[in-house]
Chain A
Amino acid sequence: MTVIQKKADNPIAHLSAEDIEIIGKELDAIRDRVIADRGERDARYIRKVIKTQRTLEISSRAVLLFSLFPPAWVVGTAGLTVAKILDNMEIGHNVLHGQWDWMRDPKIHSTSWEWDHVSPADQWKRSHNELHHRFTNVVGKDNDLGYGIMRVDEDQPWKPAYLGQPLYNLINACFFEYGIAAYDLELGESLRDGRHKSPEFRARLRAVGRKIRRQVLKDYVVHPLLSGPSFLSTLAATFTANLLRNLWSHSVIMCGHFPNGVETFEKTSIEGETKGEWYLRQMLGSANISGSRLLHIMTGNLSYQIEHHLFPDLPSNRYQEIAPQVRALFDRYGLKYTTGPLPKQVASAWWKVLRLSLPNRRGKQAQSLAPAPLVSAGA
């Protein structure tokens, strides 16, 4: 992949400025229709997910009090893993996007929500909503591209340090929530440019410290202690649940912007960008995951990454409903709607991490090294 502007076969070359504006208008219309129809059904959906998550979490933790007994360990750990995934993905991520603010329920609101994650909600909201969603896939602006530690685009110059990136990525996957906390803090950059000494940075660092302390106390001290003789097995269970949740969310998120077929953009290309152009960048800079209803819920509907990036604040249960309309729009304008099953998309993303750990092959388009082309528009 190369920034779209440098590609030989620029996938948007056939679109006129008017086309792009019409695409924008059509997307606005899809959004307006959902907002006009948003109501009780949606409210019932999110309340049900929240209730399910809470019931599952409390009962799994109760079962784990007897985790010395192997079946209890398995059931409790599985339940807790699912509860943590629901909390972070379908509930936390989406509530913090403000997808449910319209209900005016102070208990389910982006300004009051806190999630089961070491990055405090307000810091995550800043880095995710304000930076990543605005600058999606703009090389040098969107830090989600490689999280500032990896090379994920041919246009990023190669350095020998990138040889280790498959390993960094694996470690990041296992401890993903800490990676995100550091990333939301802009830890690396702040250390580099000396911002880490500012009182503002220190306050944020303290907030992260407090959040980590609370999370660790709960999962690795209090809950195991309450399990009495099952102390060690409960400790192993909560650790496993956190690990699995991390691996899962890392995989889902890699699928959103890394797989083959997703475009990246040059910094200068977004200067004076129109609404239509912004939409177009979201359309081409994201990839979906195909699968069952359960998969969509477990990914927090980030399996509809394209729809989510177009309309980050629409209720997540609606992405699935508007996907056919969005896809029809892609088809009509000859654009590639990138999607594929989870294993395939994860493999594609990992392949890119491996491939780009090495310098670009001279003369040869790096892309030709990719595995068989992924499912795309019309497939």
Chain B
Amino acid sequence: MTTTVPRRPQKASFRTRLLRLAETVTTPLLPEDYLDLVAPLRSGAALRGRIVAVRPETRDAATVVIQPGRGWRGHRPGQYVRLGVDVDGVRQWRAYSLTSVPASRDGRIAITVKAIPDGKVSNHLVRRVRPGTIVQLDQAQGDFTLPAAAPERVLFLTAGSGITPVMAMLRAGLPDRADVVLVHSAPTRADVIFGAELRAMAEAGALRLVERHTEADGLLGVSELDTLVPDHLDREAWACGPVGMLDAVEGYWTVNGLVDRLHTERFRPTVISPGEGGTVTFTGSGVTVEADGATPILDAGENAGVLMPSGCRMGICFGCVVPLRQGAVRDLRNGDLTTAVPGDGVRIQTCVSAAAGTCDIEL
């Protein structure tokens, strides 16, 4: 450790004083409101990014390359980033797995998006967004990652856009001796996102690639793993894909008592039972809406113009948690009912909760 003359605090307080002076001039705005006009990606600003390229991958998927702001702290392969983008003038937040390797030389990051039918954000990102667009970002998060000491035998089970987090892991590279199998499903050969790159990796011997083209060969059943990858249960497994596939895989690993060795990443929640619906009042904003039992309170609030905090929109990040002052809500994933009376201080995840009667949300 080196010893330094304690000058830093003084410097800092000079900076703080300067900032305060600037604030007295810019009030009621903040100095940052002016700086954002010229340097939206500077350090100290709210985290944003500038789209620098959109590269088509398949007929309905594209990779979006983003230059993140100075505050970006990097990511681990397999993690996702929350992205806020204005679609038809309305800010929409969604989560996307990072497909770039950490700490790339140009400091850029990439996500790969598959346009789903009627999907608001995915279609915008794949087909309409232009380089130069500023998007809102959040730091990378998620624990769908490889441990520091990567296991020697690995199974990746993916389908469709579920390849994205795994691609980051493959690109970052596993230990040399690692024995890696990837079983990936897509409708046709041409629909395989990163198809060429994956096949090249397989040829180079980095992994064994099992492609399943479901349009011709039908959906992959878990039981088929016995023949495709006979030692699949001896491997540490990472799975990412549609709800149906993940449910089947989880069931299978659970039955075999090996669920500890299975890691899954879900892109959307499994909805079990809708709530009853009801009148939702956002007490801080003074907004009241009728919400049906299938609509997450997050969507109901956003549609009424309430500024709702949000994150993954599927119950994993807790970015949407707010106090339920009173009333009842039902958890869309398991049908659990949560009730509150004033003073309880019950907090709910609005993205997976629907009204089950009249409720007051403190927001």
> Which residues of chain A are near B285, meaning CB under 8 Å?
111
Interface set, chain A 37-60, CB cutoff 8 A to B: 38-44, 51, 54-55, 58
Considering only residues 2-40 of chain B, those with a C-beta below 8 Å from chain A are: 21, 24-25, 27-29, 33-34, 37
Alpha-carbon distance between A211 and B285 when the two chains are bound, in angstroms:
22
Which residue of the partner chain, among B25, B37, B91, B302, contacts A218 with CB atoms under 8 Å?
B25
Given contacts A106-B307, A111-B307, contact A222 B25 (CB under 8 A): yes
Q: Mark B252-291, 1 if CB is under 8 A from A, else 0.
A: 0000000000000000000000000000000011000000
Given contacts A106-B307, A109-B307, contact A223 B25 (CB under 8 A): yes
Give every chain A residue within 8 A of B89 (Cβ-Cβ): 38-44, 102-103
Contacts of A115 in B (CB 8 A): 28
Size category of the B interface is: 20 to 34
Complexed CA–CA distance, A286 and B150 (Å): 72
Indicate if the CB atoms of A104 and B28 lie closer than 8 Å.
Answer: no
Partner of B305, one of A42, A104, A215, A222: A104
- Chain A residue numbers with a CB within 8 Å of B24 are 214, 217-218, 222
Residues of chain A with a CB closer than 8 A to B90's CB: 39, 43, 102-104
Which B residue sits closest to A39, measured CB to CB? B88
Is the C-beta of A18 less than 8 angstroms from some C-beta in chain B? no
- Determine if B27 and A214 form an interchain contact, defined as CB atoms under 8 angstroms apart: yes
Does A101 belong to the interface (CB within 8 Å)? yes
Q: What per-residue 1/0 map shows which CB atoms of B299-336 lie under 8 Å from chain A?
A: 00010011100000000000000000000000000000
User: For the complex, what is the distance from the CA of A223 to the CA of B21, rounded to whole Å?
Assistant: 10
In the bound complex, how far is the Cα of B27 from the Cα of A211, in angstroms? 9
User: Is B86 part of the binding interface, using a Cβ–Cβ cutoff of 8 Å?
Assistant: yes
Bound-state CA distance A218–B33 (Å) is: 16
| CA A160 to CA B88, docked complex, whole Å | 57
Once bound together, how far apart are the Cα atoms of A41 and B204, in whole Å? 50
Q: Which residues of B contact A51 (CB under 8 A)?
A: 37
If A39-B88, A114-B28 touch, whether A98 touches B305 (CB-CB below 8 Å) is yes
CB distance from A109 to the nearest CB of B (A): 6
Q: Which of A104-148 contact B (CB under 8 A)?
A: 104-107, 109, 111-112, 114-116
Q: Are B28 and A105 in contact (CB under 8 A)?
A: no
- Of residues 59 through 101 on chain B, the ones whose CB sits less than 8 Å from some CB of chain A are 86, 88-92
Known A-B contacts A54-B34, A61-B25, A217-B24; A40 and B88 likewise in contact (beta carbons under 8 Å): yes
Say yes or no: is A323 at the interface (Cβ < 8 Å to chain B). Answer: no
User: What is the bound-complex CA distance between A38 and B307, given in angstroms?
Assistant: 18
- Tell me which residues across on chain A come within 8 A of B305, comparing CB atoms: 98, 101-102, 104
Return the 4 tightest CB-CB contacts between A and B, nearest first.
A43-B89, A101-B305, A114-B28, A39-B88
8 contacts between A and B (CB under 8 A): A39-B88, A42-B89, A55-B37, A101-B305, A103-B86, A111-B284, A112-B307, A215-B27
Chain B interface residues toward A at CB < 8 A:
21, 24-25, 27-29, 33-34, 37, 86, 88-92, 284-285, 302, 305-307
